[in-house]
Amino acid sequence: ANTVSQELHFVFSARTMSVHSTGDCRLPGCWPSVPTGPDYRFAWPEYGGVLYARLGNWRQWLGFFEYPQATANFVGVYDRTADEGVVRVFPAHIARGSKGFGLGWSQPIDPQTWTDDGSTYVELHGGVAPTFWDWATLAGGSALSWSETWYPLSGVGWLSAATADGALGVRAADGMLEIGVHATAPHPPGATALVVRDRASGDLIAQWSLPAVGPGAPVVRSVADGGRSPDQVCVVFYDAQGRALAAHHLSDCIPLRLYAPVTLRNSD
């Protein structure tokens, strides 16, 4: 069906959001209040015991901005039921605005408001100004430009990290860590690899030479979690030259030099 499920998740890195508009009075600034600035803020992804990153926990509509501005160089949504999502990759220091919007779940805006087929959707927005209330000014003769990459992905189970080259989904499942890999360009068998290390110690947990991977050919690998959560591991998807195509927790982990190319025997 042309719709979203309750298991759609908004993937943003900010720890605080500001309300643009909402009908959910569990949040500050709910209707009939009309915010005129980023004054009504709430913790993200959880506030008041509610995981707002998950659409199925919403009551009515909600529009929100990352506060005080975009935090990381990517955002996205991922629907676990459909096992698919969308990624936006951008330079957060230039395109400082990052916004999400959904129509609600248990008491949503009626789809008949905009369509006659019952379809539903969510929104991702981006721009120069941090919010719709802010202004960005260009002096006479000046210019401002940047590049963004938007792409769909599927079959990776979750969305943990993304670049213009690829995305990773790292999740816990029944004592295992499941790692989904998406590449935005095709790579032949053996041309890329996946490495998993303990985030604290740098100890190697697993490494694989990957089969063919590309936009329509995601790869998933699993390894025993050893009592670790996804936040306790570093995962790097890299090419034959040792260039990180996408990484989960790399900046908080061990030096990049430890991710030098490795030669592996197979792609199992």
- pLDDT-derived band at 80 (thresholds 50, 70, 90) equals very high
Q: What is the mean pLDDT of residues 254-261?
A: 49
Q: Tell me what pLDDT residue 250 has.
A: 86
Express each pLDDT in 175-210 by its tens digit.
999 999 999 999 999 999 999 999 998 899 999 999
**Confidence at residue 252, expressed as pLDDT on a 0 to 100 scale:** 63
Which of the two residues, 31 and 203, has the higher pLDDT score?
Answer: 31
Q: Is the predicted pLDDT of residue 265 greater than 50, yes or no?
A: no
Residue 118: what pLDDT? 87
Cα–Cα dist 237/44, whole Å? 27
- Banded model confidence at residue 264, pLDDT cuts 50, 70, 90: very low
Residue type, 265: R
| pLDDT grade for 239, boundaries at 50, 70 and 90 | very high
**End-to-end alpha carbon distance in the chain:** 34
Q: How many angstroms separate the Cα of 24 from the Cα of each of 9, 100, 147?
A: 17, 15, 35
Averaged pLDDT for residues 224-250:
94
Q: Are 136 and 146 in contact (CB under 8 A)?
A: no
- pLDDT at res. 132: 98
pLDDT value at 142 more than 90: yes
Which pLDDT does position 181 carry in this prediction? 99
CATH of region 155-259, choose from 3.40.50.2300, 2.60.40.10, 3.50.50.60, 3.30.450.40: 2.60.40.10
> Residue 253's pLDDT band (boundaries 50, 70, 90)?
low
Mean pLDDT over the full length of the chain: 94
Spans of all domains in the chain: 8-127, 155-259
Where do runs of H (alpha helix) occur along the chain? none
- Asked if 248 and 158 touch (Cβ cutoff 8 Å), the reply is no
| Tens of pLDDT, residues 150-170 | 999 999 999 999 999 999 999
Dig out the tokens for 149 from the structure: 């990459």
Segment 117-134, tens digit of pLDDT: 989 999 999 999 999 999
Q: If you average pLDDT over residues 259-264, what whole number do you get?
A: 48
The mean pLDDT of 129-153, rounded to a whole number, is 97
Two structure tokens written together for 254? 């061990």
- What is the 3-class SS of 96-157, one letter each residue? CEEEEEECCCCCCCCHHHCCCCCCCCEEEEEECCCCCCCCCCCCCCCCCCCCCEEEEEECCC
Residue 202, pLDDT score:
87
Copy the structure tokens of residue 257: 């030099």
User: pLDDT tens digits for 94-108?
Assistant: 999 999 999 999 999
Report the alpha-carbon distance of residue 101 to residue 64 in Å, rounded.
Answer: 6
**Lookup: tokens for 62:** 């909600």
